[in-house]
Structure formats: C-alpha cells, structure tokens
C-alpha cells in the first residue's frame, strides 16, 4: 500500500512539474526579446533575453516577442523642399538592429509598446523627418556635385542615430538610392553641366596656348603681331593663315605662304 501511495505521489509530482513547466517556463530564441506582462492586465513587467526563464505561475505571462535581428527598411520620401523651394523625392534604405536591454528600466514600458507593433514604421518616420530637415540646407545644384550622395548619407546617418538611439535602435547603414527631381529641372541641370564642360575644354585650350606663347621671344611676338595685322587686311593685303607644314616623302617640309592682293 505504501508503494502505491509513493508511486501516486511521484506521478503527481511529475505531472505537476510538467504542468508548471508549461505555464511558468519559457524559452526565448536567439535574436528575440520576450515581453513579460502581468497576467490578466496590460501592465509591463520586464524583458526576457534569449535563453530559458521561469515566470511566476498565474501572475506573469509572455505577452509579445520582439525581433532583434538586423532589418533593412526601404522607403521613399516625397515633398522634400530644397533651398529655393524645389520639391524632390528621395529613395533610401536603412539598416538597423535593436538593443532594448540598454534602455533604462523606467523607459522600458514605453519602449515595449513602441516595438511590439511599430519598429519599422518608427524608423521610417524618423528618417523621413531627418531628410526634410537636412534637405532644407541644400540647393539642387549642390545635390548634383560629386560626392553629394555620400555627404548626404553621412548627415542622415548622424541625425537618425541621434533620434533613434534612445529608442533602442543601433543604426548600421543609411543609403541614398536615388534623388528624383522634376524633368524640366533635370534637363536644365544637364544643359548647365554641358556648358560647364565646354567652358572647361576652352579654358584648357587657352591655357595651353598661353603656355606656348609664353615661350616666344620678342622677335617671335613682333612677327606674330605683323601676321595678325596682315591677316586682317590692315596693310592692303589679306594673308590667309596657311598650313605651315605638310608631310611629303616621309618627312615634314615647310609649306610656303600664299599671298593674295585685296
């Protein structure tokens, strides 16, 4: 009889353990954070990191789980105003992870509510707000200069980190994919760029000419001035500039001037 009673007690203990384990023990996977709340209410109690944890039976329960793994978020922010009031649209990408255990205990209930549903939305909103603030300090021309994308990414990275770090975000990358502007503005900028390229070509050609002329002697300069005066017909004679050298018989020979009376 005693053996039967001991066996029954043992079975009850085993069943009680498994029941207790089912209701009071939780295992949190890697890169997850469990949110513990008071059973029967919405009161936040604490976070549980990865691993196994015991809860107070009938008083605590895991209400939600938060993904801590790195998350890329892509978005598009329209209506960005530059200096001059021009409206732009920027396509971007943001990568982040979460470290909520560093948040002070008094702030954790608010952070738990925020991240239970709105992790990506919060990141998008703060990045868009940062873009609105930063683009107001740029002209369209500055955004087309070499290295402008990298400079803009660095500024957005600093501001987004400052905004989101107190909320438990670890920002790893901000990337500006494209800056979209009205077609007429894009065409005007392309035309201005072509004109600037032409001016640079002409400036380089003038610089080379000046280098050559700087090597002329005074006698060379006098002859050059006389040729220019004759070419303009100031002496009653027009002298077209000839090709001074021509190739013949495998070598270069000087080609004589041809003069034509006006």
Write the CATH number for 117. Answer: 3.30.479.30
pLDDT for 115: 86
Name the more confident of 184 and 5: 184
User: Is the pLDDT score of 209 beyond 50?
Assistant: yes
When divided into structural domains, the chain yields a total of 4
Q: How far apart are CA 113 and CA 123, in angstroms?
A: 15
Query: In terms of domains, do 75 and 177 share one?
Result: yes
Query: In terms of domains, do 127 and 60 share one?
Result: no
Range 111-115 average pLDDT: 87
User: Is the pLDDT score of 175 beyond 60?
Assistant: yes
Query: In terms of domains, do 176 and 75 share one?
Result: yes
Last residue of a domain, one of 181, 207, 241: 181
Name the more confident of 115 and 204: 115
Angle between helices 119-135 and 108-117 (to 10 degrees): 90
Range 20-44 average pLDDT: 83
Query: In terms of domains, do 166 and 141 share one?
Result: yes
Q: What angle do CA 237, 240, 243 make, to 5 degrees?
A: 145
Query: In terms of domains, do 102 and 172 share one?
Result: yes
User: Is the pLDDT score of 190 beyond 50?
Assistant: yes
pTM for this structure? 0.63
132-136, 165-169, 179-183: least confidently modelled range: 179-183
pLDDT for 195: 56
pLDDT for 7: 54
Last residue of a domain, one of 67, 83, 103: 67
Query: In terms of domains, do 102 and 158 share one?
Result: yes
Is residue 35 within 8 Å of 116, Cβ to Cβ?
yes
Last residue of a domain, one of 16, 46, 67: 67
Query: In terms of domains, do 6 and 81 share one?
Result: no
Confidence of residue 232 (pLDDT cuts 50, 70, 90): low
CA dihedral in degrees (106, 122, 173, 46; nearest 10)?
30
Residue-wise pLDDT tens digits, 83-102: 888 888 999 999 999 999 99
Query: In terms of domains, do 173 and 238 share one?
Result: no
Query: In terms of domains, do 120 and 155 share one?
Result: yes
Provide the residue range defining the domain that includes 210. Answer: 188-215
pLDDT for 237: 52
Query: In terms of domains, do 211 and 138 share one?
Result: no
pLDDT for 207: 79
Query: In terms of domains, do 55 and 98 share one?
Result: no
Token readout for 166 is: 């107190």
| DSSP code of residue 100 | G
Query: In terms of domains, do 239 and 162 share one?
Result: no
Name the more confident of 188 and 32: 32
- 73 to each of 12, 114, 115, 124, 175, how far by Cα in Å? 51, 17, 15, 8, 10
């Amino acid at each position: 009889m005693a053996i039967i009673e001991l066996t029954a007690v043992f079975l009850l203990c085993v069943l009680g353990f498994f029941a207790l384990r089912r209701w009071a023990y939780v295992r949190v996977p890697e890169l997850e954070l469990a949110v513990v709340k008071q059973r029967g209410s919405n009161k936040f109690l604490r976070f549980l990191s990865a691993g196994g944890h015991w809860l107070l039976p009938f008083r605590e329960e895991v209400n939600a789980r938060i993904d801590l793994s790195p998350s890329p978020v892509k978005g598009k922010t329209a209506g960005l105003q530059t200096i001059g009031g021009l409206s732009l649209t920027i396509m971007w990408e943001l990568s982040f992870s979460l470290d909520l255990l560093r948040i002070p205990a008094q702030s954790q209930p608010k952070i738990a509510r925020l991240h239970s549903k709105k992790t990506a939305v919060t990141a998008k909103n703060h990045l868009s707000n940062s873009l609105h603030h930063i683009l107001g300090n740029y002209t369209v021309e500055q955004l087309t200069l070499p290295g402008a994308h990298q400079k803009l990414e660095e500024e957005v990275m600093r501001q987004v980190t400052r905004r989101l770090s107190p909320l438990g975000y670890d920002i790893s990358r901000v990337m500006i994919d494209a800056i979209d502007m009205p077609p007429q503005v894009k065409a005007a900028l392309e035309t201005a760029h072509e004109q600037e390229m032409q001016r640079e070509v002409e400036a380089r050609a003038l610089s080379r000419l000046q280098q050559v002329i700087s090597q002329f002697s005074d006698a060379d300069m006098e002859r050059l001035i006389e040729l220019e005066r004759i070419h303009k017909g100031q002496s009653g004679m027009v002298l077209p500039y000839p090709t001074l050298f021509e190739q013949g018989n495998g070598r270069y020979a000087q080609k004589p001037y041809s003069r034509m009376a006006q």
